[in-house]
Amino acid sequence: MKVDIERVNDKVHLVATNEQGVTVHMDGSPEIGGEDLGARPMQLILMGLGGCTSMDMLSMLAKMREQVKGYKVTVRAERATEHPMVFTKIHIHYILEGDLKKENVEKVIKLSMDKYCSVTHMLNSTATITHSYEIINEQ
């Protein structure tokens, strides 16, 4: 796995490019010379966590033949007040839409959190990660 990161302007605006050519813009807050032209690195980590567990969830539910009509995940976090200001608490809230079996949703969340999501396992060393979910039944 490889990413290249290049500075875009004379401040802290960066563009990261992966091996497939997909780019992600990163920038800092105005306090550090940034212009908010991209996501901050710690935001990208939360996005990675949400994306990792979401891919687990959606692929496992599909294998269970569950019909997910809508899906959203919200990730909220708290950071330490002293440097290196790591995440200390993270909460993941899943919102699923469809006629889904509660026990299957709970099972795939547990599998993602306890076994499959590598981002979760990396963050567990500094943060307490909790989760919740809701199922909105399609009418």
CA distance 37 to 13: 7
CATH of 41-136, one of 3.10.129.10, 1.20.1560.10, 3.30.300.20, 3.40.190.10: 3.30.300.20
Q: Which two tokens stand for residue 39?
A: 């996501």
pLDDT of residue 51: 98
- pTM value is 0.93
Q: Locate all alpha helices (DSSP H) within 2-138, ordered by sequence.
A: 41-63, 102-111, 118-123
Question: For residue range 107-127, what is the model confidence (pLDDT) as tens digits?
Answer: 999 999 999 999 999 999 999
Dihedral sign from CA coordinates of 20, 117, 87, 1: negative
- What is the tens place of the pLDDT at every residue in 11-50? 999 999 999 999 999 999 999 999 999 999 999 999 999 9
- Position 137 scores a pLDDT of 87
